Chain A
Amino acid sequence: MNFDLRLPLGIIFSLFGGIFVVYGLISDPAIYARSLGFNVNLDWGLVLLAFGLIMLGLALKARTRR
């Protein structure tokens, strides 16, 4: 049988999000001159993390119901 795709989606985007948040916190602020001064790694990392966690949550919820 196929497995719930929300699980891998949740895992990969939580991972990506987590990596970007950490990298956003430790990276040299000078690299954000390109992105008009916004620390996009941190900001967008949080968005990815949120998306990943929501997907994980939905997948786990569906699993416990079954």
Chain B
Amino acid sequence: MTHPIVLGRIDYAILLLYFLFVLGIGWALKRGMKGSTEFFLSGRSIPVWITGLAFISANLGAQEVIGMAASGAKYGIMTSHFYWIGAIPAMVFLGIFMMPFYYGSRSRSVPEYLKLRFDEKTRGLNAVSFAVMTVFSSGISLYALAKLLEVLLGWDFNFSIAISAAIVLAYICLGGLTSAIYNEVLQFFMIVFGFTPLVWLGLRDVGGWGALKEKLIGVATSQHFAPGTWTESWRHVGSPGENPMGVEWFGLAMGLGFVLSFGYWCTDFLVVQRAMAANSMSAARRTPLIAAFPKMMFPFIVILPGMIAIALVQDPHSGFTLPASADGSPNYNMVIPMMLGHYLPSGLLGLGFTALMASFMSGMAGNVTAFNTVWTYDIYQSYFAPGKSDHHYLWMGRAATIFGVLLSVIAAYFAAKFNNIMDFLQLVFAFVNAPLFGTFLLGMFWKRANGHGAFFGLLAGMLAAALHHGLTLPIGEAAGIKGGWLGTVVHVYPSEMGQNFWTALVAWSTCMIVTIGVSLATARVKTDQDLTGLVYSLTPKPADQREPWYKKPVVLGLIVLAATITLNLIFA
């Protein structure tokens, strides 16, 4: 069997150099690891441009690079909604409204915030589900990387798992969160520098943006959509049938833009942890806002390649093809790897390929660092061994890193063996995550919300998500993992994505209603004094008057929003 990418000696040299360098950074940071604060929170001493870049690159893992390019091919420019109404507004909200509570409460993790604001059981529920989720996400990253190396280069699957896990393990154990953050920033530049020539060459090859638009008309009409569907993001969302995503504007704006994106960017400790490592409150608040600038440009390096690829596939003279997946349709997940092999000569190919590998590893490292913090502070210190020395918790953090990586390896093999079980787990995580933003919203902005309300609201939200999923189906799917498993199907969605957006909406609304209801029905436990610094109305407003305008979160936030609206309008 021939492999789609052949690396030359120079490419291997680049790969080797990069990973030696990564380990070197961990080694150099080792001297600074004196206590658990350094290990888990980077001593809250990282400058804002670094936390900002780490904030977005923690999420620039496998699913982003591979998945967004695949969506670019499948849905065209509409994929940009994940950025331009999804991530960016949520990041602005996090920076302006939520960060003061995370950073100001001095809690060391998101679950710990829940304990301070609500109670022990709410924290426990969140900490345990989050810990399990990070291990499996990290395992899925590892599996996807090893699979890719096997398919592209013919590397041995076991060898790929072992070497990737070993590198991640080594640099986190040495340098803790700082090491993970530094590597994320390094990886960010690798992605940008590795993929930019790819996009430039691809765009040049199809004849520029104008010619790409022309070619994508054929893609749209061949699937019976209006000619501009692949290059216009807002003109075809009147009803779900008008676009390949199968969503309408309401589900898009509320489901994706509001519930899912805010839920992910504002409450997922994996990303919030990066901002919490900043060296001041002002820097913590600016972290997601500074991150928003490169984030809004990502569609050009991750979605555009997908659009170029699908245009090339339609053109018989291009000589570019995508391998078929198991059911015979083109395997869109191969867009980025195939384009790397198609356009980049030996040399830059090594750079692009290293960037791809690094993105998988940093996705894994991000999960492992979030896992070791939540495990050590929110589970181990809270329930198993409270009151031990700081040195003990630092030791535990290192141990947690080792078994976090080991569990990821097990999860990766699990994924290789039982693909359906992984799909099932991801589904369960979606149920667990969907209502969370409701809990935070009420927790931060309504002082009457209490622990019982939050706990039962979360449970009810998860249950509602499961129920909604069990009673609905995407069109053309059989009952089972895709939904409808409760026997009766009350609604059929035009696409899986539409179903996901509405599942999130239902979960969030249920969580809000139940949290409000239960809170009002039960006594308020925490006094105003307990909640100072945790609830908006009881917290003194952060004073950023003395800072120059470009350091004020509100000003930055407005600039970010204006730029995002402009991008939406340009590609509407």
Contacts and interface: CB of A to CB of B under 8 A. Distances in A.
Instruction: Give chain A's interface secondary structure class.
Output: helix
Contact of A35 (B14, B21, B189, B344): B344
A25 to B, nearest CB: 11
Interface string B1-24: 000000000100110011001001
A60 interface: no
B18 A12 contact: yes
A19 B29 contact: no
A16 B346 contact: no
A23 B345 CA distance: 11
Given A8-B186, A19-B14, A36-B205, A2 B45 contact: yes
Given A2-B43, A48-B193, A40 B348 contact: yes
Contacts of A48: 193
B345 A40 contact: yes
A59 interface: no
B201 A23 contact: no
A35 B189 CA distance: 22
Given A2-B32, A5-B182, A15-B17, A32 B345 contact: yes
A57 to B, nearest CB: 16
A27 B346 contact: yes
A16 B16 CA distance: 12
Given A5-B185, A27-B347, A35-B345, A16 B14 contact: yes
A24 to B, nearest CB: 7
Contacts of A47: 193
A34 B14 contact: no
Contacts of B205: 36
A27 B348 CA distance: 12
Contact of B345 (A8, A11, A31): A31
Contacts of A34: 342-345
A11 B197 CA distance: 21
Interface size class of A (residues with CB under 8 A): 20 to 34
B186 A41 contact: no
Contacts of B46: 2
Interface residues of B, number: 34
B204 A36 contact: yes
B104 to A, nearest CB: 23
Contacts of B45: 1-2
B351 interface: yes
Interface in B363-422: none
Interface in B168-218: 178, 182, 185-186, 189, 193, 197, 201, 204-205
B478 interface: no
A24 B351 CA distance: 14
Interface in A1-43: 1-3, 5, 8-9, 11-13, 15-16, 19-20, 23-24, 27, 31-32, 34-36, 38, 40-41
Contacts of B201: 35-36, 38, 40
Given A8-B21, A12-B21, A35-B201, A41 B345 contact: yes
A49 B273 CA distance: 32
B32 A8 contact: no
B28 interface: yes
Given A2-B43, A9-B186, A41-B347, A19 B25 contact: no
Contact of B25 (A8, A16, A36, A40): A8
A2 B346 contact: no
Contacts of B343: 34-36
B42 interface: yes
A20 B347 contact: yes
Contacts of A51: 189, 193
Ranked nearest first, the 6 interchain pairs of A and B with the lowest CB-CB distance are A41-B347, A31-B345, A23-B347, A44-B197, A12-B21, A34-B345
Given A12-B21, A38-B201, 12 more contacts: A1-B43, A2-B45, A8-B21, A13-B189, A15-B17, A27-B345, A34-B342, A34-B343, A40-B201, A40-B345, A44-B197, A48-B193
Interface of A: 1-3, 5, 8-9, 11-13, 15-16, 19-20, 23-24, 27, 31-32, 34-36, 38, 40-41, 44-45, 47-48, 51
Interface of B: 10, 13-14, 17-18, 21, 24-25, 28-29, 32, 42-43, 45-46, 50, 178, 182, 185-186, 189, 193, 197, 201, 204-205, 342-348, 351
18 contacts: A2-B32, A3-B28, A5-B182, A8-B28, A11-B21, A12-B21, A16-B17, A19-B14, A20-B348, A31-B346, A34-B342, A34-B345, A35-B348, A36-B204, A36-B205, A38-B201, A40-B345, A41-B348
